[in-house]
Amino acid sequence: MTEVFDGIVVGGGIVGCACAYYLSERFPKVLLIEKGPVGGGSTAAGMGHVVVMDDSRAQFALTQYSQQLWNELFPQLEPSCEPRSTGTLWVAADEEEFSHVDGKRKLYESNGLRAEVLDTKAIREAEPHLREGLPGGLLIPGDSVIYPMTAAAWLLDQARLRGAKLLQGRAVVKMGQGKTTLDDGTTLDAHFVVNATGDRAQTLTPGLPITPRKGHLIITDRYPGYVRHQLVELGYLKSAHEMSNESVAFNAQPRATGQILLGSSRQFVGWDPGIDRNLIAKMVARATEYLPGIGSLSVIRTWVGFRATTPNSLPLIGSLQHDPATLVAAGHEGLGITTSLATGKLIADIASGVESKIDRNPFAVSVEVKS
Amino acid sequence: MPELDRFDVVVVGAGPAGLAAANAAAGFGARVALIDENELPGGQIYRASRGSISASVREVIEDLSKKSVVRFDGSTVFEAPSDGVLRLWGPRGTQDIGYRSLVLAVGGRELFLPFPGWTLPNAMGIGGLQALVKAGLDVREKRVVVAGTGPLLLAVGAYLLEHGARVPIILEQAPLKDLALFGAGLVRYPAKIGQGISLGRHIATRLRAGAWVERAEGSRAVESVTWRKGGKSFQTECDFLACAYGFVPNVELPQLLGCEIQDGFVKVDDQQLTSVKGVFCAGEPTGIGGVDLSQVEGRIAGLVAIGQDDQAEALFGKRESWKRFARSMDRAFALRHELMELSTPDTIVCRCEDVRAGDLVAWESSRTAKLQTRCGMGPCQGRICGPATQKLFGWTQGSVRPPLSPVPLSALGRPLDEIEN
């Protein structure tokens, strides 16, 4: 008699690992299948910024819920996951951007989050390497930073301690109706199967509205204290919404090692894995506008990754209408590290038929899916 | 918009292979550029001592300038932004240069195998210590243990003695019988015999064959080494430990350019041409063979790069002879398995990121280890620990990404659009 799993999770990025983590709390027989290394795809190209984002009401709810879940886990995480309370400092480039800061503050505060407006003097005190004369910014002290790859591995390790299984080195070629077919022809049975293959999710579930959006990252050598908070320009969401082929926004993160991780770029160029030197140059120029001295810091590596982008910038979390045994947890764009945990919770709620703490409707997988 | 500086032949690396290539190509009137990271051409082997330019280097420089070779000294190639273009970081900042043919003569680096204490201050590579002495480090009356494998041990041992160091022992891991066979084979290479005899008198009494360092001890720096020979351990006090296990090829720039790598070396044909059109490779990246093989390979590459195929072909026999010599060296100095088992869980493997041997045993590939422990993710980008984990765990190294070596962020700030095509 063949084994029937309660649930199979396809994909061992941080979202798949988070699904396995929460599913294994409720189901004894969970299997995660990953063809490569755990956390080796978009997870490895993520900055690891755990941030509450105010792009839309649904995004705010999902990121805030996720952040609460991360905060619950922080005391248990291995030191190698490098959880750090850096906060986020949203930097205004000009008076126009600064004029919106107070509205943003009110939004965060009305949702029970701390937020502090910094004026031109306070922002330089908070970040001495920022350009002089910036009008100010908004500090969200509750945001943090983790190391995505070790965090993904930790979530999976915990799931395995609860009895979940890992099948590594095998690719899934087909899934649906509770059946999962591997590249060696084996078919596995489960009550439900979660497609957590991120930017590749539409391969296994045709018709999902997911497009790869390429990003570049730059990392420096170690300069402890050069940057203290996760710095993001207030125009970041504008850049994220820019549906044109290419956009760049200033984003600088202090790593636990003292290194500075520099983002961010967004491009719709398919799966081209090459480094775009012109785009790197634009990122450097952008970073230099905010941190005029950063050009002299030593760079040790550049790399690229792909975000799984959806038309409304919200992840797809839910079951297929025509195939309720197939669940989707994909399309997390640039927020997958943050939103992985809430996604895992929501998937576990759906699988066990219970209500969730937040409204799941905005993330429902729509009928755009062709069978 | 700055105009792209274009050359018929660009040679990267001004060691024996690169100098031979540049001279060969320039001898026929081609416009040749020679790029090297060091302040002066010559590479490790002709490296001048501080404050003086050795006669051999002066000769090299005069020869290059007579032939109008354009030198880019103190310049690092950190990426290849488009076909036929290299990007350098050097005294004039970021610079792009164009080539019709490219000769990669980027040399090799020392192989380090981790053992307890190998990262202590004053423990370093053999070539590394020699370079420091050339740069002004005073080793007079210092006790230096030289250890590892290969002919460099004896050469540097002799060099250190000449510079006033005391060299209590030289530990060669290869067994005496293999060394003897190798020595007998030298009869076919008269030039090498001369070198062998002059070295022999100084160091014969110090050489211990079939012996290797088990660990280095010391609180703030190396104070002693424990070494093994014939099933017994011995301890020797010292102020410096110079230890390396031969050379590994620098294949990062060839890899970045898309050259095919076979068994860890750049694959080349008879004419030293790589799998990429117009890109040649000579010297250690194509196989560790030493100065003579590097020179003849460099010369062949330089000649073919300017279309002098017949002249190049005349050198094939000479190259084959030095290749035989290289193969006999490989056999004589093959690494013993005990060297792969010296590290304890506590021994650092990746110096840049402080990753210890015990952190690595759980992972199945360099990629997973990198993702989970940062092994190989530091400023050297796995140049040191990559070859070690390959020997220790059989891991192959992943892809190469720009910048090839650390450069200031501003160096990446120059858009490609500025290259005029």
Residue B336 in any domain: the answer is: no
Interface test with A, best of B257, B366, B372 (most A CBs within 10 A): B372
Give the closest of A39, A220, A275 to B371, CB-based. A39
Surface-to-core class of residue B341, CB atoms within 10 Å of its CB (0-12 exposed, 13-18 middle, 19+ buried): exposed
Which residues of chain B neighbour A303 with C-beta distances below 8 Å? 401
Q: What is the pLDDT of residue B60?
A: 79
SS3 B83: coil
Q: What is the pLDDT of residue A305?
A: 94
CB contact under 8 A, A302 and B401: yes
Q: Structurally, how many domains does chain B consist of? A: 3
pLDDT, tens digit, 9 for 90 and up, residues B155-205: 899 999 999 999 999 999 999 888 877 776 666 665 565 555 455 666 778
SS3 A370: coil
SS3 B67: coil
Surface-to-core class of residue B174, CB atoms within 10 Å of its CB (0-12 exposed, 13-18 middle, 19+ buried): buried
Of residues B222 and A368, the one with the higher pLDDT is B222
Q: Which residues lie below 8 Å from residue B398, measured CB to CB, with a gap of 6+?
A: B366, B367, B370
> Which of B202, B219, B245 is the endpoint of a domain?
B245
Instruction: Classify the C-alpha dihedral A190-A192-A198-A204 as positive or negative.
Output: positive
**Chain B residue with minimal CA distance to A294?**
B409
Q: Tell whether B21 and B134 lie within a shared domain.
A: no
Residue where the block lists tokens 């796995």? B382
CB contact under 8 A, A297 and B408: yes
**Chain A residue with minimal CA distance to B359?**
A80
Q: Tell whether B189 and B92 lie within a shared domain.
A: no
Give the closest of A40, A80, A299 to B412, CB-based. A299
CA dist B190 → B156, B195, B293 (Å): 21, 9, 15
> Which of B329, B358, B380 is the endpoint of a domain?
B329
Distance from CA of B369 to the nearest CA of A (A): 10
Residue B141 in any domain: the answer is: yes
Pairing of β B279-281 and β A246-254: unpaired
Q: Which domains does chain A have, with CATH numbers?
A: 4-52+148-209+313-363 (3.50.50.60), 88-141 (no CATH), 211-309 (3.30.9.10)
Give the closest of A257, A280, A296 to B412, CB-based. A280
- Asked if B421 reaches chain A (Cβ–Cβ under 8 Å), the answer is no
**CA B71, CA B287: separation in Å to the nearest integer?**
26
Tokens of A65: 């819920």
pTM: 0.91
Which residues of chain A neighbour B351 with C-beta distances below 8 Å? none
Which residues of chain A neighbour B402 with C-beta distances below 8 Å? 275, 302
Q: Tell whether B312 and B356 lie within a shared domain.
A: no
Residue B373 in any domain: the answer is: yes
Closest CA to A332 of A200, A175, A225: A200
Contacts 24+ apart (CB under 8 A), B272-277: B272/B103, B272/B297, B272/B300, B272/B301, B272/B304, B273/B304, B274/B104
The DSSP code for B166 is B
Q: Tell whether B287 and B312 lie within a shared domain.
A: yes
Q: Tell whether B80 and B118 lie within a shared domain.
A: no
Tokens of B315: 């050198």
**Chain A residue with minimal CA distance to B367?**
A37
CB contact under 8 A, B371 and A40: yes
Q: Tell whether B174 and B157 lie within a shared domain.
A: yes
For residue B395, what are the domain limits? 343-415
Q: Phi, psi (5° rounding) for residue B169?
A: -145, 155
**CA A187, CA A196: separation in Å to the nearest integer?**
18
Give the closest of A149, A150, A285 to B413, CB-based. A285
Question: Which residues partner with A187 through β-bridges?
Answer: A181
Closest CA to A304 of A359, A256, A264, A335: A264
Give the closest of B81, B406, B412 to A284, CB-based. B412
Distance from CA of A212 to the nearest CA of B (A): 21
> Which of B186, B211, B245 is the endpoint of a domain?
B245
**Chain B residue with minimal CA distance to A36?**
B368
Q: Tell whether B221 and B263 lie within a shared domain.
A: no
CATH code of the domain in which B307 resides: 3.50.50.60
Residue B150 in any domain: the answer is: yes
**Chain A residue with minimal CA distance to B82?**
A277
Q: Tell whether B325 and B266 lie within a shared domain.
A: yes
Alpha helices (runs of H) in chain A, residue ranges in sequence order? 14-26, 57-73, 95-98, 101-110, 120-126, 148-161, 201-204, 236-241, 277-290, 336-352
Residue B70 in any domain: the answer is: yes
Residue where the block lists tokens 């220790």? B392
CB contact under 8 A, B416 and A297: no
Closest CA to A22 of A3, A7, A42, A40: A7
Distance from CA of A298 to the nearest CA of B (A): 4
Which residues of chain A neighbour B379 with C-beta distances below 8 Å? 221, 298, 300
Q: Are residues A211 and A202 in contact, defined by beta-carbon separation less than 8 angstroms?
A: no
- Asked if A201 reaches chain B (Cβ–Cβ under 8 Å), the answer is no
Distance from CA of A119 to the nearest CA of B (A): 29
Mean pLDDT over residues A152-158, rounded? Answer: 98
**CA A117, CA A134: separation in Å to the nearest integer?**
13
**Mean of per-residue pLDDT scores for chain A:** 94
Q: Are residues B153 and B145 in contact, defined by beta-carbon separation less than 8 angstroms?
A: no
Distance from CA of A291 to the nearest CA of B (A): 12
Q: What is the pLDDT of residue A240?
A: 67
Q: Tell whether B21 and B70 lie within a shared domain.
A: yes
Length of chain B: 421
Q: What is the pLDDT of residue B190?
A: 59
SS3 A246: strand
CB contact under 8 A, B407 and A288: no
Low-confidence ranges of chain B (pLDDT < 70): 1-3, 45-53, 184-202, 416-421
Band the pLDDT of A371: cuts 50, 70, 90.
Answer: very low
- ipTM of this complex: 0.91
The DSSP code for B273 is B
Residue B188 in any domain: the answer is: yes
Question: Which residues partner with B241 through β-bridges?
Answer: B123, B145
Judged against a pLDDT cut of 80, whether residue A238 lies above it is answered with: no
CB contact under 8 A, A288 and B413: yes
- Asked if A294 reaches chain B (Cβ–Cβ under 8 Å), the answer is yes
Q: What is the pLDDT of residue B200?
A: 63
Q: Are residues A100 and A115 in contact, defined by beta-carbon separation less than 8 angstroms?
A: no
Closest CA to A244 of A198, A274, A219, A213: A213
- Asked if A296 reaches chain B (Cβ–Cβ under 8 Å), the answer is yes
Band the pLDDT of A2: cuts 50, 70, 90.
Answer: confident
Residue where the block lists tokens 């700030």? B413
- Asked if A244 reaches chain B (Cβ–Cβ under 8 Å), the answer is no
Pairing of β A298-309 and β A211-222: antiparallel
Tokens of B32: 């040749």
Q: Are residues B247 and B288 in contact, defined by beta-carbon separation less than 8 angstroms?
A: yes
Residue B220 in any domain: the answer is: yes
Closest CA to B102 of B117, B131, B119, B82: B82
Q: What is the pLDDT of residue A236?
A: 78
**CA B39, CA B42: separation in Å to the nearest integer?**
10
Residue where the block lists tokens 């669940």? A327
**Mean of per-residue pLDDT scores for chain B:** 90
Interface test with A, best of B409, B412, B414 (most A CBs within 10 A): B409
Q: Tell whether B215 and B226 lie within a shared domain.
A: yes
Helix axes B316-332, B290-305, angle to 10 degrees: 150
**CA A216, CA A208: separation in Å to the nearest integer?**
25
Q: What is the pLDDT of residue A366?
A: 79
Distance from CA of B82 to the nearest CA of A (A): 10
Which residues of chain B neighbour A284 with C-beta distances below 8 Å? 409-410, 412-413
Which residues of chain B neighbour A260 with C-beta distances below 8 Å? none
CB contact under 8 A, B410 and A277: no
Tokens of B89: 């970081």
Which residues of chain A neighbour B416 with C-beta distances below 8 Å? 277-278, 281
**CA A219, CA A302: separation in Å to the nearest integer?**
6
**CA A53, CA A251: separation in Å to the nearest integer?**
14
Interface test with B, best of A78, A300, A302 (most B CBs within 10 A): A300
Interface test with B, best of A42, A78, A280 (most B CBs within 10 A): A280
Q: Tell whether B227 and B207 lie within a shared domain.
A: yes
pLDDT, tens digit, 9 for 90 and up, residues B58-80: 887 888 889 889 999 999 999 99
Q: Tell whether B269 and B324 lie within a shared domain.
A: yes
CA B224 to centroid of chain Cα atoms? 27
**Chain A residue with minimal CA distance to B414?**
A281
Residue B337 in any domain: the answer is: no
Which residues of chain A neighbour B378 with C-beta distances below 8 Å? 300
Which residues of chain A neighbour B383 with C-beta distances below 8 Å? none
Q: Are residues B381 and B403 in contact, defined by beta-carbon separation less than 8 angstroms?
A: no
CB contact under 8 A, A301 and B401: yes
The number of C-beta contacts closer than 8 angstroms across A and B is 87
Q: What is the pLDDT of residue B47?
A: 66
SS3 A326: strand
* A window 301-320, beta carbon within 8 A of B: 301-303
Distance from CA of A191 to the nearest CA of B (A): 31
Surface-to-core class of residue A347, CB atoms within 10 Å of its CB (0-12 exposed, 13-18 middle, 19+ buried): buried
